[in-house]
Amino acid sequence: MTPETASGAPNPFSPSPPRVLEHPDEVGAERQRQAARTTSRAELTLRHPSLDRVSRDVGDLEEAALGDLLREDPDEAMALLADLARATDVRLRAAARRLARSIALRPPSAGAATPNGRPRLTTLPQPDGGDLDLDATLGRLDATPYLRGEDLHVRDWRRRGTAYVLLVDVSGSVAGARLATAVLAAGALASRLRPGDELAVVAFARDALVLRAIDAAAPPGDVVDALLDLRGHGTTDVAHGLTVGLRQAARARSPRREVVVLGDGVATAGGDASGVASDAGRLGARIHVLAVDDADEARTACRAIAAAGGGRVAPLRRPSDAADALATVLA
């Protein structure tokens, strides 16, 4: 039996709507709350037999040994480093975060595809070069009887900026290889930014946490530290995550808008994710999916989201594949 409630009063038995945490104060508080859950050395040893190889003593992280492990088994090395970035040992945690940020933010290798818009011929006010655009310049006479220096317009080749929105599914448990994959994907996006590009990063489960807004002034590389704070929990509302991501894309200055979803695409709460994704075209955006699961249900869900959003799907099963998978969907 459902107890009666007064007319107009909230029903305590009805689930509350999913939240969007976007203000820097509330985002910082949530990051601090999740980061307070650290991992003991005993637990790290159980997860990673290679721990003693790179950290023999409390507070110690041997970079040379980690470098050797990165060459031998990059996926295990990055999974270990991601977990060390949550260690209870303060000195070990700080060293692991510094190295994780350095590795994740390496620039793309020479010859790698860079998802940047091609230059196009554009009319620009207050020029510092280019050919005079007579029509645009004389058009200023409609607003003023005399032309001044700032009324001059030229035609010049300028690169089109691109707005990137990364949506990371952090439902369930986010640690080890799964966390390393998210960190490397975010780092690959941040490393590819060029002047005029924009980046937003949203973590979602039931609620959505805007780790970096599209108009943020902070260094894009800060998203690596933000992701390392998250522990993951709760159900998966993909539709809500997409809604928040598309809002970020809609606020972008750049004409090219690329939304990338990192997850399995399977929702355990919320509405129709494909229906939300179908709004992308109206906003001048595409939605791509980096699929972390190969199960039939996950493949079907990821393909449906990408098809509705006019984008692509690429498998992303290992942390070391993050940069290549990203280049594939953004090509």
Look at residue 186 and give its three-state secondary structure.
helix
Do 170 and 317 lie in one domain? The reply is yes
Residue 135's pLDDT is: 62
Check whether residue 206 and residue 59 sit in a common domain: no
317 and 247 within one domain: yes
Residues 171 and 285 in one domain: yes
Q: Tell me if 230 is assigned to some domain.
A: yes
Percentage with pLDDT > 90 across the chain: 69
Question: Which tokens hold the place of 86?
Answer: 């949550």
pLDDT digits (tens, 9 = 90+) for 170-201: 987 777 898 999 999 999 999 989 989 999 99
Say yes or no: 181 and 299 in one domain: yes
The rounded distance, in Å, linking the Cα atoms of 285 and 155 is 26
> Would you say the C-alpha torsion 200, 204, 271, 326 has a positive or negative sign?
positive
DSSP bridge partners of 328: none
> Into how many domains does the chain fold?
3
Residue at 197 is within a domain? yes
67 near 29, Cβ under 8 Å?
Answer: no
Asked if residue 53 and residue 189 are part of one domain, the reply reads: no
128 and 201 part of one domain: no
Residues 324 and 241 in one domain: yes
Structural domain ending residue among the three candidates 104, 130, 148: 104
State whether 307 and 196 are in the same domain. yes
What is the rounded distance in angstroms from the CA atom of residue 131 to the CA atom of residue 42? 67
Contact present, 122 and 147 (Cβ < 8 Å): no
User: Could you tell me whether strands 131-132 and 153-159 are parallel, antiparallel, or unpaired per DSSP bridges?
Assistant: antiparallel
Specify whether the CB–CB gap between 150 and 124 falls below 8 A.
no
Q: For the packed helices 176-192 and 322-330, what is the interaxial angle rounded to 10 degrees?
A: 50
| CATH classification at residue 314 | 3.40.50.410
Angle subtended by helix axes 74-84 and 90-104, to nearest 10? 130
**For residue 112, is pLDDT > 50?**
no
- Whether 325 shows a pLDDT value over 80: the answer reads yes
**25 is a domain residue:** no
* In-domain check, residue 27: no
Q: Going by C-beta distance under 8 Å and a sequence separation of 6 or more, which residues neighbour residue 61?
A: 54, 55, 84, 92, 95, 96, 99
Structure confidence at residue 226 (pLDDT) = 94
Mean pLDDT of 7-16: 58
Q: Give domain status of residue 115, yes or no.
A: no
Domain span at residue 75 reads 38-104
Task: Quickly state the pLDDT bin for 1 (edges 50, 70, 90).
Answer: very low
Could you list the beta-strand ranges (E) of 53-204: 119-125, 131-132, 153-159, 162-169, 198-204
Looking at the fold, whether 236 and 142 belong to one and the same domain comes out as: no
The pLDDT of residue 331: 84
Whether residue 149 lies inside any domain: the answer is yes
Mean pLDDT of the residues in the chain: 86
Q: What's the one-letter identity of residue 6?
A: A
The answer to the question of residue 167 being in a domain is yes
154 with 172, same domain?
A: no
Please provide residue 171's backbone torsions phi and psi, each rounded to the nearest 5 degrees: -75, 160
Instruction: Say yes or no: 250 and 317 in one domain.
Output: yes
Closest CA to 328 of 136, 188, 150, 162: 188
For residue 20, tell me if it sits in a domain.
Answer: no
**What would the pLDDT profile of 287-318 be if each residue is shown by its tens digit?**
999 999 999 999 999 999 999 999 999 999 99
